[in-house]
Chain A
Amino acid sequence: VSDDPIALLERELVSAARRRAAAGPVPVVLPWPRARRRRIRVGDALSAAAAAGAVIVALGALALLGGGGGGHPASIAAATPRDKLVATLAVLRRPQTAADRDPATLRQIARLDASSAAFRPDIAGMRLAGITPWGEKVVLVPFAVDRTPQLLVFTGGPLWGAAATSRIRARGIMAVETLRQPAGVGVVLVVPDGVARVSLAAGAQRLAPAAVRDNIAVLRVPAGAAAELRAAARVTWYGPGGAVVGAFRYGDAAQVCFTLGSSCRR
């Protein structure tokens, strides 16, 4: 056993690189989601049409039986990981408009895309989910890292949140940003379908529930509660009928942000 783990790790990495080089070129994987595209033949199209018809019939039967549950698409079985993400958030299922392709967000995406071969943004999937009271656009961008679909939320400020589908279903995404005028903390929460209102408590502060629209809720927290909020916010989700459908502590550990430099702040 050597006493220098740094040198040992370098040796292991170089050995692994040598093994890979000796094994020959690795097949190039097409970027997500283009890798899933394939040529559609007449027979496939007919099969797809038949399958779609079956789904429509099944959904119709569910509606007649009152099994729609207020339209909770997240409960519909999804075929692919990306479909599961889209099935979780209604805002991703509406048609994309020109406003959804926010130029400032596209520039930020381009910077991330350029710096990471593993980052695969789904530009056709991006949606402008709303504008905060302090004037920042909230843009949701599906992307994939190592072919695992996730969702990025850009708030226009330096902080972005990101999470995979399972995380969004369990806790959503919370993006926190320090506001200057007036001083305080802006909080943007992305929640799955079926959540109608969100309340937030940080330290001694308990804020009135905020309504959810297009899967996002926006809250403003007084400046004094910023530290408590970053350390341990308590989030409660309410369903359309007012029942609590989720309650958890959303601590520092739950946040993630991507950075091109060293100034990424949580």
Chain B
Amino acid sequence: MEGSPDPRTDGELLAATVTDPEAFAVFYRRHIRGVLSFFRRRAPSAELAFDLTAETFAAALEATPRYQPRPEPARGWLYGTAWNKLHETQRRGHADDAARRALAMAPIELTDAGIERIEVLAGGRVLRLLAALPADQRDAVRARVLDERPYDEIAAELRCSESVVRKRVSRGVQSIRARLKEAGL
């Protein structure tokens, strides 16, 4: 599910979708891993992460007739939609399926193997290993690697020096790598 060799930009693919439905498949394959990981980091389960991912892409497809290509990447537009879906879900307490219903899309039943596939693609195993780290390492890795925050900011928040934060991040990442290696991944 790596990037497609299609030379068109995301914006061009979205604009072409109205007359060329396969263009949306290319767009989907480019971003499915990123969007799924985005939701898996924030949702308590792989099922909910997949549900939100499906609704986000459906909403994007629904909006393509109004999409106009611009010089800026369309990735931000997709993730803006993803944020909105996440926010709506947190507010309502459940995932919406309005876009999928509007498009008359059939529900997708998840099997255990399907959930495992989602976990692999979204990095769910890494998240579980992260959760198992000691609290100081987990907080440092989460702040630095997932939230991409600068070391000085993390150090101020955790009330320690930058070098301590760097050590915690390094040890945490090494620990996760070692466990993935043990599991043959």
Chain A residues in the interface with B (C-beta under 8 A): 1-6, 8-10, 12-21, 25-26, 28-29, 111-112, 114-119, 145-146, 162, 167, 178, 180, 183, 223-224, 226-227, 253-254, 256-266
Contact = CB atoms under 8 A, between A and B. Distances in A.
Contacts, number: 159
Interface in B101-123: 103-106, 108-111, 113-114, 117-118, 121
Nearest to A266: B147
Cβ-closest 3 pairs across A and B: A17-B21, A260-B76, A3-B113
A14 B24 contact: yes
Contact of B24 (A17, A111, A263): A17
Contact of A16 (B63, B72, B90, B105): B105
A4 B118 CA distance: 8
B111 A3 contact: yes
B162 to A, nearest CB: 13
B116 to A, nearest CB: 9
Q: Which of A257, A265, A266 has the most CB of B within 10 A?
A: A265
Contact of A259 (B79, B117, B139): B79
Q: Which of A20, A25, A145, A227 has the most CB of B within 10 A?
A: A20
8 contacts: A4-B117, A9-B57, A9-B108, A12-B105, A13-B25, A20-B18, A115-B75, A262-B148
B142 to A, nearest CB: 11
Contacts of B66: 28-29, 117-118
B35 to A, nearest CB: 11
Contacts of B79: 259, 262, 264
A94 B71 CA distance: 36
A114 B57 CA distance: 19
Interface of B: 1, 17-22, 24-25, 28-29, 32, 36, 50, 53-54, 57-58, 61, 63-68, 70-77, 79-81, 83-84, 86-87, 90-91, 103-106, 108-111, 113-114, 117-118, 121, 139, 147-149, 152-153, 156-157, 159
A19 B103 CA distance: 8
Contacts of B17: 17
A119 B80 contact: yes
Contacts of B147: 265-266
Contact of B76 (A3, A183, A259, A266): A259
B108 A5 contact: yes
Contact of A117 (B19, B24, B67, B87): B67
Given A116-B76, A265-B149, A183 B156 contact: yes
Contacts of B72: 111, 114-115, 260
Given A21-B21, A112-B80, A265-B148, A253 B90 contact: yes
Contacts of A19: 103-104
Contacts of A16: 58, 61, 103-105
A145 B25 contact: no
A264 B86 CA distance: 14
A6 B121 contact: yes
Contact of A14 (B21, B53, B104, B149): B21
Nearest to A184: B156
B110 A5 contact: yes
